[in-house]
């Protein structure tokens, strides 16, 4: 593949992070499967990745008629209110808190009317899409790390604050453009998502769990859709 005529197109090296949580989480919408991972390059999301907390292979403690036909309370999901930590050191450049946590919508019947309102959420910009979130500048001039869909009232850092890897940033929620509690993470080359391009990412020192076994250790990699991962990083 080439960029300009006669000039090979070289993808930038991925920025290596640690996983921003403890426990086991399943991967959704991974850039290991496709790019753009969320079906769009808009808002710097070309290499974004989603994580959903699981326990015994399940994302929620209850599955009943609501799961099939209606909306569900968010507190039945294992990801809701789980601590989210900084996956790298950097400087907080912006935060947003105060967006409500929506009810969860596992049911296709419940997701359909929600999907019809996605355009209106996009018009709200970052609050409507990312919900409560933290943006961290990893080095002078970027790249910029976004951790989105945090629980209202749990953002634990302020703009200008220096953070270290493993420092609490907030708790997982279901704010913004989200149908069930999960963490959305992405890297951008500009702090303004309307101008930004996505930046490739990878993770270090994590284990991919396999049913009936201990799984395998990954020194550096990008987990694929369906992988259940857990950090084995020693705190810095």
Does residue 4 fall inside a structural domain? Answer: no
What is the count of structural domains for the chain?
1
Does residue 175 fall inside a structural domain? Answer: yes
Does residue 97 fall inside a structural domain? Answer: yes
User: Distances in Å between the alpha carbon of 95 and those of 67, 82, 153, 175, 194?
Assistant: 32, 18, 12, 14, 17
DSSP-assigned letters across all residues of 109-156: HHHHHHHTTHHHHHHT-HHHHH-EEEEEE-STT--EEEEEEEPTT---
Confidence of residue 119 (pLDDT cuts 50, 70, 90): low
- Exposure pattern of 104-141 as b/e (b: 16+ CB <10 Å)? bbbbeebeeebeeeeeebeeeebbbbbbbbbbbbbeee
Does residue 163 fall inside a structural domain? Answer: yes
Does residue 3 fall inside a structural domain? Answer: no
pLDDT digits (tens, 9 = 90+) for 44-103: 999 999 999 999 889 999 888 777 788 999 999 999 999 999 999 999 999 999 999 999
Does residue 5 fall inside a structural domain? Answer: no
Mean pLDDT of the chain: 88
Give the residue from 51, 30, 29 showing the smallest Cα distance to 228: 51
Does residue 6 fall inside a structural domain? Answer: no
Does residue 22 fall inside a structural domain? Answer: yes
Q: Between residues 119 and 63, which one has the greater pLDDT?
A: 63
CATH number of residue 78's parent domain: 2.70.70.10
Q: Which domain holds residue 124?
A: 15-231
Query: In sequence order, which residues have a C-beta less than 8 Å from that of residue 118 and are 6 or more positions away?
Result: 177
- The residue-averaged pLDDT of 176-198 equals 95
């Amino acid at each position: 593949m080439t960029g300009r005529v006669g000039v090979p197109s070289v993808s930038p090296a991925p920025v290596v992070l640690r996983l921003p949580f403890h426990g086991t989480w399943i991967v959704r919408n991974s850039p290991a499967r496709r790019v753009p991972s969320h079906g769009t390059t808009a808002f710097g999301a070309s290499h974004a990745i989603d994580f959903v907390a699981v326990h015994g292979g399940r994302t929620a403690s209850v599955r009943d008629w609501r799961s099939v036909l209606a909306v569900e309370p968010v507190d039945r999901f294992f990801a809701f209110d789980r601590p989210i930590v900084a996956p790298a050191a950097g400087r907080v450049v912006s935060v947003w808190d105060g967006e409500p946590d929506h009810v969860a919508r596992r049911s296709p019947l419940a997701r359909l009317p929600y999907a019809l309102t996605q355009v209106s959420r996009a018009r709200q910009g970052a609050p409507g899409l990312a919900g409560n979130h933290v943006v961290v500048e990893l080095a002078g001039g970027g790249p910029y790390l976004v951790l989105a869909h945090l629980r209202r009232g749990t953002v634990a850092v302020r703009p200008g604050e220096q953070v270290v890897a493993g420092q609490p940033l907030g708790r997982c929620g279901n704010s913004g453009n989200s149908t069930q509690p999960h963490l959305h993470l992405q890297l951008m080359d500009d702090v303004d998502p309307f101008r930004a391009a996505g930046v490739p990412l990878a993770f270090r020192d994590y284990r991919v769990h396999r049913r009936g076994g201990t799984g395998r250790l990954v020194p550096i990699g990008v987990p694929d859709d369906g992988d259940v991962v857990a950090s084995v990083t020693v705190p810095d």
